[in-house]
Amino acid sequence: MPAEKQQNSVLIISGSDKVIEFFTELLPVSAFTPIITASSAGEARRLLITNSYDLVIINTPLPDEFGSELSLEISLQAYSGVLLLVKSDLFDQISYKVEEYGVLTVVKPNSKQGIYQAVKLLVATRERLRGSEKKNATLQAKMDEIRLINRAKWMLIEHLNMKEAVAHRYIEKQAMDMRITRKEVAENILKTYGS
């Protein structure tokens, strides 16, 4: 069964109030909240120092720079989905430059439906990325635990002259007997014998 749909925070960067108004009306509050706006790349960078956003929408050109460099910075530094709106005469050139970094480029002008489909595609991609982040974090934690347990086994081998299989069983048995995790047993062993 799919998980409950998550709210997506949005940063809209545009020098045009019309575009900001377009997106705030287009994006339903039930799925997109909060929606924060910035009128320049500089203002957006200041916001991004202290906040992260699930989706970042950049309407090019911005008053202080074009916006494609900003899209690359965001895609490299954050786990945000980035949508870049570009005029048709620059679309191929800009899209080619940013697509390998995972930035989704959409030609403008475009229909309301076309833009919304692009946003939904970005949300779907972001959800896949979020799932990968969770899996990577879980795998990293498991690898860290295995390393810790292996260090504890080597302490037992070194200080108590146990064989590796005996040290492994000792950690497992201690965890069962004391009703704690193998990681906690390993941490106790490392505290006792110094790491």
Q: Where are the domains of the chain?
A: 8-110, 137-193
The CATH number of domain 8-110 is 3.40.50.11140: no
- Alpha carbon 167 to chain centroid, angstroms: 39
Residue 55, strand partner residues: 10, 81
Q: What is the mean pLDDT of residues 117-127?
A: 87
pLDDT band at 77 (very low <50, low <70, confident <90, very high): confident
The CA-CA-CA angle for residues 138, 142, 148, to 5°, reads: 145
Q: Is the pLDDT at 53 greater than 90, yes or no?
A: yes
Q: Which residue in the block uniquely carries the two structure tokens 């969770």?
A: 134
Residue 132's φ and ψ, nearest 5 degrees, are: -65, -40
CA distance 18 to 43: 18
Write the DSSP symbol of residue 11: E
Arithmetic mean of pLDDT, 43-50: 94
Check residue 91 and give its pLDDT: 94
CATH number of 137-193: 1.10.10.10
